[in-house]
Structure 1
């Protein structure tokens, strides 16, 4: 591909990403992968260059751009080399027309930027949410140890017990240690959250929003397979990924439970009032993961945030039904918005008299309401909120 053709390819991809974001469809990384799967003639350098252009435009444009061309014109406005490639050459973009406007730049749409500021995040904290994330792994203590594991390249030790950090793009999933289940890709913040949970051997622990089971596997490793783990979710596809992952990791997961949205307690009835601990890694906006999925700012609006808040309250109420007297709930979101963190805890405690919040100990993060918030600027992790609730 010529340099101009790379610009045009990025424009086409951005058009698809914008349409998908508005429709709450596929994420950018999947769209890019599908695009190049159908264009195998593109070499690795072309794919990398186009991908970098796409994400550069996404990070630059706060509000949703009108088009991929407008988004790339915003990049051209800051980079004369990109601007020069709007030259009308074969397979390249048409020349920039008189009066043609680039997309608006910024950190986020105005309403969302205001919500971030109301959550006590300044410009530097918000900008850090859009930086490039490193790649963190967790060495699986069921099979290996960080101090002795042999990997193709050394990683930087993290504050988590078995965490190592590598540069973004390091092909860890191609390593033998990954195939053997000795390592898992997991952000340092997620690792620290699992380490902070008030659980111990012999406990019954329910991962209520388990997804693909990243935290379930981390719990199994932390507890040496000495707890009864129940992984539940409404997403059949993601939950189906857990069994092969657990087998590879040597992790014992006693039950995987597929839930029917709105009828969850039918499937969870055997554990009603029995769980020592319920982990609620709640569905959220993902504002804490914008380093990896910066187009998430384009997907979120006030209506969607309100829907997510209702869902977060719902899963917390389910967790309360599952928790034994004196047991606990951990509420986690990969969000830095107060609406998806402290506000949900305040609302839960108002609905459930007798419950109380209790402190957790993490080596990173700062107090936020009744919990702790992690963020990329101060902690080098994704953005998270975690709080612990204790049953009467």
Structure 2
């Protein structure tokens, strides 16, 4: 496909996402199934335009003076591919599949418009109500933080130390520009794609099939590291999902002790079985959602809660989610977080700890939930550990690379794309004295 056909396809997908308020991944998949002539390179290029347009939907609309799918598609091509309007017009000339170029004055306005004159939520590329919450959660730099959430993300991997060291994996993936991650000790990073490029299909590599590495954002790796799972411990991963953090905990424990992996959603949990087998994790016991876990009450050294959340920290990868998120959905997530924390508390032994993690940057889902938990369980002897001190001890090179806030005699922390270079994650550790 030529550029004109790719741009027309991207505009079609953007219109579908807007009209049906559906996940962009589903819209792109359906487009591909109904246009089988499009090759993998075409689909990747179309996806780039669509995702770039959704990441910067409000600022592109402001600069174009038009929020239509066509306007956003042209803005994404001009910005993402670095094409001057004249060069774009020349590239589309004679292409019968190409959409009509916007008026010259509209394109001139797009290039000249200064976002400094835009409302803060527009410059941040978020809905107004989300902007208010980000400002309350992130303070004066919230616009810059949100703008970092609108950038293309890197591809992060974790070397599975049960089978291979990081140096071995980096060497195997050298053709893709893989490098050691800046913070996570087992992390590997392939830089964000540029222009019409695409990330390599690393899951087709022999090293992946052998279990040498897993795809996992560096922030997710750091959250598992901060939890401090140690060899020989009894650990419950209460919201294990597909098992990314479960595998990281298993490797940190050197395949000793026991990790109980559970999730309320059987469908989410299903992929964990194949992943565990490939990674060689022998100390993980997958617990069926219908299984009674009462026998584990008061027995766990560590209960790891990767709580259901809005996913606001992952908007680089799922930009459509910020436009579909409703305030009612946030309220529902808060209820779910309180419920899972209350359930998790029952499993922590005296002297044990509870790690609470979200991939959200909203204060309501993070520190407020921890404070509410402490108020509800004052008789259980839970106290907030000093997550900031643990961060500095484990990652002395990363001083100042996360947000650390005092809470309940200890501290909690948040990772962000702007500060940490990762997806957005919140981490708190609670220790049970009795």
Structure-2-length-normalised TM-score: 0.80
Task: Give the structure 1 partner of residue 414 of structure 2.
Answer: 373
Task: Give the structure 2 partner of residue 36 of structure 1.
Answer: 32
Q: Tell me the distance in 2 between the aligned counterparts of 1:40 and 1:82.
A: 29
Residues 112-151 of structure 1: pairs in structure 2 closer than 5 A:
112-119=130-137, 120=139, 121-149=141-169, 150-151=171-172
Matched, 1:170 2:200: yes
Q: Tell me the distance in 2 between the aligned counterparts of 1:42 and 1:173.
A: 22
Matched, 1:226 2:244: no
Residues 1-392 of structure 1: pairs in structure 2 closer than 5 A:
1-20=1-20, 22=21, 25=22, 27-62=23-58, 68-69=69-70, 71-72=72-73, 75=76, 80=85, 84=89, 90-93=96-99, 106=123, 107-119=125-137, 120=139, 121-149=141-169, 150-153=171-174, 155-158=178-181, 159-168=183-192, 169-259=199-289, 267-353=292-378, 354-360=381-387, 361-362=390-391, 363=395, 364=398, 365-370=402-407, 371-391=412-432, 392=434
TM-superposed CA distance for 1:183, in Å, is: 0.6
Contact 1:231 1:253 in 2 (8 A): no
TM-superposed CA distance for 1:45, in Å, is: 3.7
Task: Give the structure 2 partner of residue 263 of structure 1.
Answer: none
Number of corresponding residues: 383
Per mean C-alpha deviation after superposition, the further-off stretch among 33-42 and 271-280 is 33-42
Q: Tell me the distance in 1 between the aligned counterparts of 2:349 and 2:312.
A: 32
Secondary structure of 2:167 counterpart: coil
Task: Give the structure 1 partner of residue 115 of structure 2.
Answer: none
Contact 2:203 2:209 in 1 (8 A): yes
Structure-1-length-normalised TM-score: 0.88
Secondary structure of 1:315 counterpart: helix
Q: 1:4 to 1:339 in 2, by over 3 A?
A: same
Structure 1 unpaired stretches of 5+: 261-265
Q: Tell me the distance in 2 between the aligned counterparts of 1:219 and 1:268.
A: 20
TM-superposed CA distance for 1:390, in Å, is: 1.4
